[in-house]
Amino acid sequence: MLSTIGNALKRLFAAIGNAVIAVVCALTWLFTRLVNFFGVIGSITIVGLLIGASVLTWAWQHEELRPLLSAIAGGLSVVLAAIAGFIETKAEPSARWILVAAAGIFAVWFSWYTTDDLTDQLKAKTEIADLQQQRIQLLRDDIVDYVKPLPTDEYRRILTVAGFDKLRSRFNDAITKHSPPFRSLDFEPSRDIIYIINRLEGENKNGHALYLTGEIERILKHPDRGSQRFYTYLEIENNRTRDGVAGATPCRTPEGFCRERTAYIFHLLANNFYQDGLALKAVGRTEATYKESFSTALKHACTAIKLFPPNGFNQTTSERTLEKLLFAELGMVAPSTPPGPGACLQAVAPPGHATQPGLAKTPQ
């Protein structure tokens, strides 16, 4: 019995040995053929690439390793291309081309994975952003539905806080977070509150919403620089704040109209029309054309001084500086009387309200 088992083991080991010898002989023959065809360096390169590709293929099954493998493939493409440059074409012509081809394959692999990964990430982030926007929209609409049925006093209190406190706060946070230029995304918190106010009060009816919407468009360099918003504000205001008290407190209302804010809108209108006049003059437009802008600018500057005496505002170009510049551009004699609204208004008839689009920015 034992002798039978021993003979069987001998035959098994002999078969295994013969198989190993056959494999070694086959590999030796194959490598010899490779050396004869591709040269020593080319053959070693092929064997190394086959082993490396096998390892990378196995590792690719583990998703967490893919970014690392992609980076390795990109690095190998550079290394192999560099090595190929040092191989003499006459001595090892095949090796050089093998290295170049391998470098190209690894480069394609790296590029494919990077592009595919970035595409997947972008798609995922877009889907997340869409879901977040839907949630924000639902919240905004829920707030509107909650506020609408409230008693009048409570409704007006909430509208005042939303427009005068919260909206200004969100806007100021955006413009103080970093220096210009600003992104549209910076003002999304402000737009959320503007949306709620407009849903409650109606589109283009609330002074807070109109003013801050115009401010955002002006800062983001909107084509009309918020002019339509400010024009609508002045149309709705319709002179009702001109005899009011100056300061921020009168703007603390649900409607959002007050004398100081109105005056500042005229201040920015004056600055805009002055800049428009300079631009028209610089490009060679007719004297009548650019002086019309200067004349409108002066009227608005005078109105700002009248509504916010004695000197108007100092932001951008101050009223008193504009007054001197515009009198010079229009060929008029500047008033020699001490600063006061009367000096400016003696020269031009101030407009009842804005008749041209413009910009506005005020501390309100």
The Cβ-side half-sphere exposure at 79, using a 13 Å CA radius, reads: 9
Residue 104 has pLDDT above 60, yes or no: yes
- Answer for the pair 99, 81: CB distance below 8 angstroms, yes or no: yes
Instruction: Tell me the pLDDT band of 286, cut-offs 50, 70 and 90.
Output: very high
Instruction: Tell me the pLDDT band of 130, cut-offs 50, 70 and 90.
Output: confident
pLDDT tens-place string over residues 229-246: 888 999 999 999 999 998
pLDDT tens-place string over residues 328-343: 999 887 665 545 555 5
* CA atoms of 194 and 88, how far apart (whole Å): 72
Residue 61 has pLDDT above 60, yes or no: yes
Residues 6+ apart with CB under 8 A from 174: 182, 186, 187, 189, 190
Q: Tokens at residue 264, please?
A: 């500042």
Q: Tokens at residue 307, please?
A: 């509504």
Residue 221 has pLDDT above 50, yes or no: yes
Q: So what's the pLDDT on residue 263?
A: 92
Q: So what's the pLDDT on residue 335?
A: 62
